[in-house]
Amino acid sequence: MEMSFLRLVFYGIPENIAVVALAFSFAKVKFDWGKFFLMGIFLAFTAFLLRLIPITFGVHTIVCLGLLIFLLNYFVKVDLTRSITSVLFSFIIMAIVETGSRILTLKILQWSIEEVMKNELLIIVTGIPEVAILFLLAFFIKMKFV
């Protein structure tokens, strides 16, 4: 499904910022909100633009994985091995949290995935718990292990 600009702004960008925060936590580097925002916005727009071109679904994820690894390595000066593991862990956790929180949210609200996928606003609303959980995990990991 093509992502609307509304969904990009209210779901894609916050989700990517949260994933960047999670990657910073796993990489054990200092939190830098300026870098979180810039990197998250850049990743979200990259995914948005890639989804507009006729390529296999999922390619945007692989490109964003590589891009975040590069950004951590080049701009944050995280060594390559730690960048790769931090980003992979972050994307795996994002997938698990997204799946789990969406299933739970749909169950609680008694909505079907079909009706949610037809409505951009419902996609955004059901994505809010995921983004919140990702940020909480990033902060918990940062406080506990760094």
E-strand stretches of the chain? none
DSSP label of 2? P
Contacts of 41 (CB under 8 A, 6+ apart): 13, 16, 17
* Dihedral angle of Cα 102, 107, 110, 115, to the nearest 10 degrees: 30
pLDDT at 146 over 90: no
Residue 95 sits in which domain range?
5-145
Q: Give the pLDDT confidence score for residue 1 in this predicted structure.
A: 55
Give yes or no for a contact between 25 and 138, defined as CB atoms under 8 angstroms apart: yes
Portion of the chain with pLDDT greater than 90, in percent: 84
**With DSSP H G I counted as helix, E B as strand and the rest as coil, what are the percentages for the chain, rounded to 5?**
85, 0, 15
Least confident of 16-20, 29-33, 39-43, 132-136: 29-33
Q: Which of 33, 38, 32, 50 is nearest to 13 (CA)?
A: 38
- Could you tell me what percent of the chain has a pLDDT over 70? 97
pLDDT for residue 98 is more than 60 = yes
Number of domain units in the chain: 1
